Structure formats: C-alpha cells, structure tokens
A = this chain, B = another copy of it.
C-alpha cells in the first residue's frame, strides 16, 4: 500500500474563517489521500515511511481556476491596452500560432515547468482551438503528474479568420478529445470551453451543452469581465435578460459543474442564478487590474454561498503565482470595501488563502485541504529567509510567506501523496 507521513509545521484552511495550524506534527496519507494529522505518531503508523521537514511549513498545493495556456509567451505584454483591443492586437495573433504543434511543444513545456515552479498543483486551463496542441498539452500534464482540467477552446464567430472554427468541426474535435481522455488519467481531464458568448453561435453553444450533459463533462467560460463586453452580449442576445442566461439557456451554467471567470459586472439576478446553480467564480484580480476591467466584489459572492477560487488568468494576468493572486485579491477587496462605504468587508488573509487552496480545489472534489479523505497535494515551504522562525507564530509565518515569498521558498510539491519532479 502507498503510504507516506510528512512532518513539519502544518497550515491549512478547512473553513475560510481562520488558519488551522499544527506545529511540528505528522500528516499521514495512504493511497494519495489524507488519513489525518497527529502531534505524536500512533503505534499503527510506526512502520510508515516519514519525510521529515521539521521547521518547514506544509500547506495544501495552490489551485489556479483560470488561465490561458497559449498566452503564456505573452505574459507582461501589451498591458497598456483594455480587453477588446488587447485581444485583437496581442492575444488572437499569438493563439493562431498553436496550429503548429512544434510551437506548442516549445511554449507549453515551459508553461508546465512554470506552474510546477510556482507550486500550482491543480489548474483549470484554456487551450486554443487546436485539437493537436490541446492534446499535446494534456499529454504533457499526464507525464508531469499535475492535476488539471484542459479545454479546447470553441469559437465560430466574431474572431479573426485563423481562429474562426467551422461549427460542426469544433463540436467533433471537442467530442474526440472528451472520448480520448475519458479514462486516461486520474489527474488530467477534459473541460468544455466556449471562449465566451460573443465568439460562439447559438448552434455551437447548444452542441457544447449537449456534450456536457452526455458525457457529464464540466464547463468553463468567461462572464461579465468588462462593460463593453457586457453591452456586446446584450446586443447579440437582446431577448435574454442577461449574460448568464445565455449560457444557462444552453446548459452551460451549472448543469454540469461550471467555472465562470471574472464575473465582475454580474447583476443581482445573475448572482442568484450562480448561487442556485452553484456556478464557480474564478476571481482573476491581476488580470482585472491589468486590463482595466474592474474589481469583482468577492464578498458578495461569499455572502451568497457562491463557490469562489482564484485564477492567474495569464496573460491578462502577468504571473502564475497564486500567492500573488492571494495578495492582490486582498488588496482589491480593500478597495471594494472603501467603495462600498465599508459595507463589503475586505478579505482576510485566511479567506484569501482558502480561495487559493480549498475554494478553487473544491471544483476538483476533495482538493485543497488536509481533512480526512482529501487528496494529498501539498507544498513544503522553507521560509527561513523570510521569517525568524522562533520569533513569529505559524499564522504570521504563513502571512509573511504569502506576501514576501516566491518559488524559491517552495522546496517540494506533492500530488496524490507523491513528490512531483520538475517537468522536463
């Protein structure tokens, strides 16, 4: 049986309200799942192998609910533009290059390494429209043993010539990928990925919704990122009450589990629907800053019981680091607090950490926490260059790591109870 015990200073957030901390304790797992946390090792675990990380922090691996793989090479580029001009000038031309799997191999290999480096152990990813490059990316993740959902993007209108698909072919390629990866890996899965309403005909959305239901495959898309985009959707679908209702009409809004990125300008009716359908919001605060989109009022979503996780959203976002997304989410929520006349309380550190671990992780199932039965995905953090360990509490050390640390502080990544080596 596959057993491992790791020892160290354990920190996680079973609820968002506070950090649970276990100084100098043992995290026991079997078959890649958490058994429990113990301050002394019981007799029955005496013969389990122990990896001793005394003095280091052990936290759940980070979860990224939204990123665009084919935009990786564009990170930090064109940040002086807003969403729609940015898409046309930088993003679409770059994505068109992924018809070439050699180019895809070159860039995607770097992306996978960079996710690993940043301690992202689970991610939900947009690929491009290209079947070949999408499968290549999924195969890279299978090989590197990182937990992901990857979606081939669907778009058959309002796009550049190179990126406009034939509707039938778009659906066929999507179904092919679903079938190929159905039982292929416990870590790498397919997700249905209409780019966003403006680039998908009704026929395409209808077909995708049917595929989602037929194979019970989850869905991801974009929602209410930008004022002009919301207006555009209104023009395209004048008979539907709002943006969400377009997805909802086509079974792409929680009929199978669903993530909507951004969700900044959702109306109260849309919030209600997200809550009812338990649609996840991927909060991508750095992207929303960079593209002048606005700030999602996270507190409203939490108050409504809508599941929320964080997304790096490269290359609207400029960093794959989930700790950076955590800090920016806190910062953004403080600006919302000021704007709301101090009604919408800012995110606390434990709340934002929860969003970047268990909040996003719950999209995958039991991921992002150290409760019994959870996937044993964790990071070993060496914070000795940040905190004089004896001086700070464990809560203070985790806060300092989130604000000051970077990939250099991550010593090891475990997924399903196994150390993941740096991808080649």
Name the 8 nearest CB pairs between A and B, nearest first.
A76-B403, A289-B331, A292-B334, A318-B403, A76-B400, A76-B404, A80-B348, A80-B349
* Copies of this chain present: 2
Q: Is A411 interfacial (CB-CB < 8 Å)?
A: no
* Interface 0/1 of A388-410, CB less than 8 Å to B: 10001000100111111010000
A305-328: contact bitstring with B at CB < 8 Å (1 yes, 0 no)? 000000000000011000000010
Q: Is A96 part of the contact surface with B, judged by Cβ < 8 Å? A: no
Cβ–Cβ contact A292 & B346, under 8 A: yes
Contacts of A292 in B (CB 8 A): 334-335, 337-338, 346
Chain A residues near B (Cβ < 8 Å): 73, 75-80, 286, 289-290, 292, 294-295, 318-319, 327, 330-332, 334-335, 337-339, 346, 348-349, 386, 388, 392, 396, 399-404, 406
Query: Whole-angstrom distance between the alpha carbons of A141 and B292 in the complex?
Result: 40
Q: Do A76 and B318 touch across chains, with their CB atoms under 8 A apart?
A: no
State A210–B392 Cα separation when bound (angstroms): 42
Bound form: Cα–Cα A330–B80 in Å:
9
At the interface, is chain A mostly helix, strand, loop or mixed? Answer: helix
**A11 CB to nearest B CB, Å:** 15
Q: Hey, which chain B residues are within 8 Å of A318, CB to CB?
A: 327, 403-404
Q: List 15 A-B contacts (CB under 8 A).
A: A76-B386, A76-B401, A76-B402, A76-B403, A77-B399, A78-B399, A79-B399, A286-B331, A289-B331, A289-B335, A290-B330, A292-B338, A294-B338, A318-B327, A319-B403
B75 touches A400 (CB 8 A): yes
Inside 8 A of A327's CB, which chain B residues have their CB? 318
Residues of B with C-beta under 8 A to A346: 80, 292
Measured between beta carbons, the chain B residues less than 8 angstroms from A73 are 388
User: Is A79 touching B396 in the complex (CB atoms < 8 A)?
Assistant: no
With a cutoff of 8 Å between Cβ atoms, the chain B residues found around residue A348 in the complex are 80
A158 CB to nearest B CB, Å: 24
| A400 nearest in chain B by CB position | B76
For A76, list chain B residues within 8 Å (CB): 386, 399-404
Which B residues are CB-close (under 8 A) to A75?
Answer: 400, 403-404
